[in-house]
Chain A
């Protein structure tokens, strides 16, 4: 079982819609949760992080964490074509180890 699981996609949404990206993790002791955006041929860029249950909002992005279900999600409101990228979920587990999922590819269609 992988430490972090994501649907590889692609997830296609029309411009202006809400994109919903999800990830599950296996380590119940995980402490911190991150979303990175990676454009094709580029390196990952941190866009959101969340430590506790509930929602965290930053502009058009909302991260949601449910520790009981070991589930993290990222909502992108008013999706733009420039949001088209691969979104990587990362988790800091026990012993401060970081694990990345394989990413979900998002396509926002004009």
Chain B
């Protein structure tokens, strides 16, 4: 079974530029999460999708961050414009529907450096 795929793995941009991250969840996983993990901290949930609907985006800085999950499969997370404090690893995770809903499987992450 293929895991959660993310790209790119690394990205370096200047502040005020824009950037987009892509995530392909495990096949059949209905729930998809985007997390931000700043060095030395635990992951912080940015947005959670159930199929292609948003379940929770309360911690997403909506003035600069946006995310979509078209057709309930792949998802993209965008930052525009980026700030220095956005430097972090952006993790995508997915989980099964039903009883195994809570078991989140993480992708390798995208390490973003904003200079």
Contacts of B104 in A (CB 8 A): 46, 98
Contact of B102 among A8, A43, A49, A100 (CB under 8 A): A49
User: B55 near A96 (CB under 8 angstroms)?
Assistant: yes
Which bracket fits the contact residues of A?
Answer: 20 to 34
Per-position binary interface string of chain B over residues 35-65, scored 1 when its CB falls under 8 Å from any chain A CB and 0 otherwise:
1000011111100100000011010000000
Interface membership of B25, Cβ < 8 A: no
B2 to chain A: closest CB distance in Å? 15
User: A103 near B42 (CB under 8 angstroms)?
Assistant: yes
Contacts of B56 in A (CB 8 A): 95-97
User: B107 near A92 (CB under 8 angstroms)?
Assistant: no
Of all chain A residues, which has the CB nearest B43? A100
Contacts of B108 in A (CB 8 A): 42-43
Residue total for B at the interface (Cβ-Cβ under 8 A): 21
Of all chain A residues, which has the CB nearest B50? A96
User: B42 near A88 (CB under 8 angstroms)?
Assistant: yes
User: A102 near B55 (CB under 8 angstroms)?
Assistant: no
Per-position binary interface string of chain B over residues 45-88, scored 1 when its CB falls under 8 Å from any chain A CB and 0 otherwise:
10010000001101000000000000000000000000000000
Q: Which residues of A contact B (CB under 8 A)?
A: 4, 8, 32, 34, 42-46, 49, 88, 90, 92, 95-103
Q: Can you list 13 contacts pairing A with B, beta carbon distance less than 8 Å?
A: A42-B108, A43-B91, A43-B107, A43-B109, A44-B91, A46-B104, A49-B103, A88-B43, A90-B42, A97-B45, A97-B56, A102-B40, A103-B42
With A44-B91, A90-B42 given, name 15 new contacts (CB 8 A).
A4-B42, A42-B108, A43-B107, A43-B108, A44-B106, A45-B106, A49-B102, A96-B55, A97-B45, A97-B56, A99-B45, A100-B35, A100-B43, A101-B42, A103-B42
